[in-house]
Amino acid sequence: MKIELDNILKLVPKEVLFSEIIEFDKLDERISAVGVLFANTIGVNENSIEFCPDNEPPLIEEIISWIWTFRPDLGIEILNQELSDDLMKLILAYENNEMEKFWVYINE
């Protein structure tokens, strides 16, 4: 998986079709959670999502959160990156199927 993450990081897609998104059924929750950490960085279109970073160039955490949004299966590998506490707590909560803990944490 590390190779896969490294490859995505080399050429970060600006748009991802819904059909290419892993765990599509939980996409709304991931977009909402990432939106709390990085407002308006993910746009939703009719058949896709797009990366709309606030910073130019994008912050590495914006990029990582974008990749995680469409590839949550890379969560464990992403956790090996240098991340802020907030992003780490988000991905850990998702990995452990404990998103309610993230929402409590972020609202404290």
**Nearest residue to 89 (alpha-carbon basis) of 74, 77, 104:** 104
Whether this model's pTM surpasses 0.85:
yes
**Buried residues in 17-45 as b, exposed as e (16+ CB within 10 A):** eeeebeeeeebeebbebbeebbeebbeee
pLDDT digits (tens, 9 = 90+) for 74-96: 999 999 999 999 999 999 999 99
Helix (H) or strand (E) holding 102: helix 99-106
Helix H or strand E segment including 9:
helix 2-10
Of the chain, the percentage scoring pLDDT greater than 70 comes to 98
How far apart CA 108 and CA 97 sit, in angstroms, is 20
Mean pLDDT of 61-68: 97
E strand or H helix at 44: strand 42-44
Q: Is residue 1 scored above 70 in pLDDT?
A: no
Residues 95-107: tens digit of each pLDDT = 999 999 999 999 9
pLDDT tens-place string over residues 9-53 = 999 999 999 999 999 999 999 999 999 999 989 999 999 999 999
Per the prediction, the chain carries an average pLDDT of 95
